[in-house]
């Protein structure tokens, strides 16, 4: 396992927090635990430390010893504080102890109230300026992210974690075997907030309109939401970044059908560019797009239209034929 990282700390972190003295300790802890864990990671995936927290945070009901009655007692866990242990295990940070990121004060329960105020590291604090992760271009992503409408409107309350849960993060697009898998995972990220009042209200007091109402100009809406990512229409496609992170203002969103439904579709440079998909693509739109330079998405796929056009053709031919037949007789 590679464990070089944490050579630099993101500047905004310094501006936001005064708890700097904790950072080195946290980083060293992460470093050590990752190093120690390099053997047997697959067989023994979750750390004991993580299991200790998940005893309570992995279940809807947890047990504690009531210090007044000295008896064990069951209580309900706040659903927003439940960590899905299966998803945690699938994520890139599965080898972590919870206290590699959270303060070790959490090892005692009841948790002390001021732990809530502890600043948390963001992606750049750990991954910024580290060659091990160069292929992900964290710094470029950060630059794009800062330009996005979210940061422009909401400020630094909007973080990478607003979209990427650090507990569950995995790079789906690079590993997925189908376009649908990518689209589902990506769109869930946006819908998790643009369809949830609680998460949205953490960031703004504005009312939000339902997504299907906002996009009522788009025909076959569900089919589109199942086949393209929100970011296909809401970002400018960049050649040099795997995933564009600059979410544009709504006025700049893509509404022009022919940008996708044409031979040089923007989707060739975004959703359809992943090599892992191309080697595995069997039937379907992606394959057709790769194999046929002039293929137009959606063009051959409305069976009713296909049948209708054949009927029209037959009728037209029949018309011409009858017409010329009678002209021939009259002569
Ligand atoms: C005995 C059960 C129990 C154990 C063990 C436990 N927690 Fe908690 N934790 C809770 C409960 C209940 C809450 C809800 C708030 C409260 O009651 O303090 C909570 C709240 C939290 C919060 C949210 C604080 C906030 O409101 O922002 C975090 C973060 C947290 N725990 C992390 C951990 C970590 C990390 C561990 C392991 C080192 C851990 N907990 C172990 C029961 C537990
Ligand atoms: C890679 C770092 C990382 C690891 C590992 C990690 N957490 Fe977290 N956790 C975070 C961050 C960051 C937040 C704050 C999210 C936010 O407020 O945007 C958080 C928030 C929480 C919360 C509060 C709920 C919430 O979403 O705000 C709980 C509870 C929690 N973590 C429990 C755990 C438990 C239990 C484990 C171990 C199984 C764990 N965490 C491992 C980074 C981590
Ligand atoms: C506390 C430090 C820390 C934070 C915060 C953190 N990471 Fe990580 N991340 C790591 C470490 C350490 C590894 C290597 C884990 C391993 O190899 O088991 C890792 C692994 C990864 C990988 C896998 C890299 C590879 O190619 O194997 C990705 C992708 C990743 N993190 C993305 C993120 C994103 C996105 C965020 C923010 C949402 C984030 N990380 C937040 C420390 C962190
Ligand atoms: C508005 C939501 C959103 C925000 C905010 C966001 N991302 Fe992303 N990010 C995405 C989506 C969507 C993807 C594509 C996910 C996939 O399929 O792998 C992605 C992918 C990534 C990838 C994988 C890129 C690759 O080359 O495979 C990394 C790394 C990443 N984001 C890091 C970050 C960092 C760092 C931040 C904060 C500076 C951030 N993201 C903020 C939505 C977001
Ligand atoms: C086919 C392109 C397309 C797709 C796919 C798409 N959008 Fe949009 N979206 C637009 C356009 C164009 C507008 C501006 C509509 C207008 O102003 O009438 C818009 C508007 C919005 C707005 C602004 C709402 C407001 O008025 O404040 C939000 C939020 C939004 N979209 C989120 C999403 C999310 C989340 C997804 C994925 C589930 C998504 N969009 C998928 C094109 C698209
Ligand atoms: C954690 C919550 C959250 C997530 C996740 C999120 N958004 Fe947003 N988004 C917001 C909030 C809050 C606003 C309103 C900002 C404002 O105007 O105050 C917003 C505004 C927007 C707008 C309208 C911008 C305008 O011009 O008014 C668009 C478009 C948008 N988001 C698209 C997306 C897309 C696409 C994704 C997924 C890649 C996404 N959002 C993920 C919270 C979120
Ligand atoms: C971001 C790219 C994008 C944009 C913009 C877009 N579409 Fe699509 N559209 C698609 C994709 C991808 C499909 C699904 C094709 C498939 O795989 O079957 C689709 C499917 C369709 C279908 C259904 C065809 C079928 O397979 O049954 C119709 C009709 C359609 N689009 C019309 C429109 C119209 C009209 C607009 C403009 C208002 C529009 N689309 C804008 C990408 C887009």
pLDDT tens per residue, range 110-148: 999 999 999 999 999 999 999 999 999 999 999 999 999
Over 60: is that where the pLDDT of 275 sits? yes
More confident site: 243 or 27: 243
Answer yes or no: is 49 within a domain: no
- What average pLDDT does the chain have? 82
The contacts of residue 137 (CB under 8 Å, 6+ apart) are: 241, 242
Report the pocket of ligand 3 as residue ranges, CB < 6 Å. Answer: 1, 5, 30, 34, 92-93, 95, 101, 121, 123, 125-127, 133, 136, 160-161, 164, 166, 169, 171
| Structural element, H or E, at residue 62 | strand 61-66
Residue 52 lies in a domain: no
pLDDT confidence tier of residue 157, bands split at 50, 70 and 90 = very high
- Residue 88 belongs to a domain: no
> Is 254 within a domain?
yes
Ligand 6 mean position, distance from CA 235 (Å): 12
> Ligand 6 test: best mutation among 149, 184, 187, 248, most atoms within 8 Å of CB?
149
Domain that holds residue 233: 171-291
Lowest-confidence pick of 32-41, 45-54, 140-149: 32-41
Take atom 18 of ligand 1 and give the residue whose Cα is closest: 111
User: What tokens does 260 get?
Assistant: 């996708």
Check whether 313 has a pLDDT greater than 80: no
Closest ligand to residue 136's CA: 4
Residue 7 lies in a domain: no
Rounded to the nearest angstrom, the distance between the alpha carbon of 266 and the centre of ligand 4 is 19
Q: Looking at ligand 4, which residue's alpha carbon is closest to its atom 41? A: 160
Q: Which ligand is nearest to the CA of 269?
A: 7
What's the number of domains the chain is made of? 1
- From the CA of 296, which ligand is nearest? 7
List the alpha helices (DSSP H) in the chain: 11-16, 22-36, 48-57, 85-90, 98-101, 123-127, 138-147, 149-154, 160-163, 172-175, 179-194, 197-201, 211-214, 221-227, 230-234, 275-280, 285-291, 303-330
Place of tokens 């160069």: 134
Q: What is the pLDDT of residues 70-123, one digit of tens each?
A: 999 999 999 999 999 999 999 999 999 999 999 999 999 999 999 999 999 999
Inside any domain, residue 302:
no
- Looking at residue 268, its pLDDT comes to 84
Indicate whether 1 belongs to any domain: no
Q: Does a structural domain hold residue 189?
A: yes
């Amino acid at each position: 396992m590679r464990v070089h990282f944490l050579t630099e700390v993101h500047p905004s972190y310094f501006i936001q927090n005064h708890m700097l003295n904790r950072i080195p300790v946290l980083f060293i802890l992460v470093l050590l635990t990752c190093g120690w864990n390099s053997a047997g990671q697959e067989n023994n995936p979750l750390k004991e430390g993580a299991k200790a927290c998940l005893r309570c945070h992995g279940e809807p009901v947890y047990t504690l010893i009531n210090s007044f009655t000295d008896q064990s007692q069951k209580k309900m866990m706040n659903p927003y504080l439940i960590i899905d242990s299966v998803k945690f295990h699938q994520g890139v940070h599965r080898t972590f102890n919870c206290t590699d990121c959270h303060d070790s004060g959490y090892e005692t329960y009841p948790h002390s109230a001021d732990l809530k105020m502890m600043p948390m590291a963001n992606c750049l604090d750990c991954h910024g300026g580290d060659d091990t992760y160069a292929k992900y271009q964290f710094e470029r992503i950060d630059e794009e992210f800062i330009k996005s409408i979210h940061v422009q409107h909401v400020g630094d309350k909007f973080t990478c974690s607003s979209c990427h849960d650090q507990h569950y993060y995995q790079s789906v697009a690079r590993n997925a075997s189908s376009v649908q898998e990518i689209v589902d995972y990506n769109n869930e990220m946006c819908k998790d907030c643009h369809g949830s009042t609680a998460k949205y209200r953490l960031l703004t007091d504005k009312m939000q309109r339902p997504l299907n109402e906002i996009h009522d100009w788009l025909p076959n809406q569900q089919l589109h939401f199942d086949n393209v990512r929100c970011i296909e229409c809401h970002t400018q496609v960049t050649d040099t970044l795997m995933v564009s992170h600059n979410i544009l203002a709504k006025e700049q969103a893509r509404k022009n059908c022919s940008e996708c439904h044409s031979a040089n579709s923007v989707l060739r440079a975004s959703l359809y560019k992943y090599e892992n998909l191309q080697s595995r693509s069997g039937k379907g739109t992606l394959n057709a797009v790769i194999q046929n330079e002039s293929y137009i998405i959606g063009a051959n796929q409305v069976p009713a239209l296909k049948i209708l056009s054949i009927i029209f053709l037959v009728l037209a031919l029949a018309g011409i034929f009858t017409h010329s037949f009678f002209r021939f007789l009259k002569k």
